[in-house]
Amino acid sequence: EVQLLESGGDLVQPGGSLRLSCAASGFTFNTYAMGWVRQAPGKGLEWVSTISGSGGSTFYSDPVKGRFTISRDNSENTLYLQMNSLRDEDTAVYYCAKVRSGSFRSTFDYWGQGTLLTVSS
Amino acid sequence: VLTQSPATLSVSPGERATLSCRASQRISTNLAWYQQKPGQAPRLLISSSSTRATGVAARFSGGGSGTEFTLTISSLQSEDFAVYYCQHYDSWPLGFGQGTKLEIK
């Protein structure tokens, strides 16, 4: 059974940093791209970032490019999102999601339950 | 950019619901649909415009290509009332529609 468990969400001041983690199990982690999708309170879904199975290719949405870094540790089956220079508008539930197929650019077939980041002074 | 319509759809149980998703440029069939219930993560329903994900009931069907897509639920069950999102994966950045809330009439 595929399981994705996010952690690391917290209350952070504007300008601060935080790292989210996502522990994966139930599939061969290093053969699938992974991504982060966020959802601001009461709002819709917003794609944040995707990383290839090897970690050699990364993709970012414009609002987070240059501030967020996605990475993975395939020996630990863990996905990360390092978030710097946080802004109020980064407040959201952050979901870790598994990409469905071998292509980086695809749908997300499994999702974690999310972790809440609140950016506020 | 994906535009979903309507924003809210009120339908009675047992009736048919049709949700629309329009893309601002042609995306072939690189479109997915997700269902999200309150307090839960999204669930993949449909990929490649019309392919049901594993375990998804046959009453859910998707169609369309290019710029116009639909998700149809043939006979609404109580558990189908939720928010539905479309997502394109034709190019970077990936994008989601703003969602359609399907509510009980």
User: Taking 80 as the threshold, does the pLDDT of residue A102 lie above it?
Assistant: no
Minimal Cα distance from B39: which residue of A?
A: A113
Task: Please write the tens of the pLDDT for every residue from A1-56.
Answer: 999 999 999 999 999 999 999 999 999 999 999 999 999 999 999 999 999 999 99
Contact A108 B99 (CB under 8 A): no
Give the mean pLDDT of B31-35: 98
Q: What are phi and psi of B104, to 5 degrees?
A: -75, 130
Minimal Cα distance from B52: which residue of A?
A: A109
Other CB atoms within 10 Å distance of the CB of residue B37 = 13
Closest by Cα among B14, B1, B16, B9 to B102: B9
Name, in order, each residue with C-beta under 8 angstroms of A94's C-beta and a sequence gap of 6 or more. Answer: A6, A9, A20, A36, A37, A38, A48, A81, A114, A115, A116, A117
Model confidence at B84, pLDDT cuts 50, 70, 90, reads very high
Structure tokens at B105: 């009439």
Q: How far, CA to CA in Å, does A71 sit from each of A20, A77, A104, B14, B93?
A: 10, 11, 14, 46, 18
Closest by Cα among B51, B34, B7 to B94: B34
Closest by Cα among A103, A109, A106, A115 to A38: A115
User: Average pLDDT, whole number, for chain A?
Assistant: 96
Nearest CB to A107; choose among B89, B91, B99: B89
Contact A95 B47 (CB under 8 A): no
Model confidence at A101, pLDDT cuts 50, 70, 90, reads confident
